[in-house]
């Protein structure tokens, strides 16, 4: 019973965390979309179908946990060309970016 209550509490807390993410300003949203198109696209392909880096299409991200994707974007991947992007984006912005990637580009 206690485990069930703890699990329920964790699920509720997680939903509040996602709901409380600050919405970037319209100008920042434009900056992030440009970053995705130009900077990410430089390695992952301008259509995100892959290049030097792997494809970032929804079907390629399926099965990969959000936490893994967020950490990879923020911290980069040692021994690869994937740099850390935390100097340019905060965690909330990366979580939103992962959501955009999961839906596919507009």
Q: What is the pLDDT of residues 57-103, one digit of tens each?
A: 999 999 999 999 999 999 999 999 999 999 999 999 999 999 999 99
Q: CB under 8 Å, gap of 24 or more: what pairs does 32-39 form?
A: 32/89, 32/93, 32/96, 32/97, 33/100, 35/88, 35/89, 36/97, 36/100, 36/101, 36/105, 37/105
Tell whether pTM > 0.85.
Answer: no
Q: What is the pLDDT of residues 8-23, one digit of tens each?
A: 444 454 444 444 567 8
């Amino acid at each position: 019973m206690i485990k069930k209550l703890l699990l329920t509490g964790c699920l509720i807390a997680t939903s509040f965390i996602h709901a409380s993410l600050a919405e970037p300003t319209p100008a920042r949203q434009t900056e992030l979309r440009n970053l995705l198109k130009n900077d990410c696209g430089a390695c992952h392909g301008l259509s995100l179908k892959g290049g030097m880096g792997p494809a970032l299409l929804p079907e390629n991200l399926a099965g990969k946990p959000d936490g893994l994707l967020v950490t990879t974007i923020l911290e980069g991947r040692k021994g690869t060309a994937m740099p850390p992007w935390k100097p340019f984006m905060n965690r909330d912005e990366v979580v939103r970016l992962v959501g955009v990637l999961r839906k596919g580009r507009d």
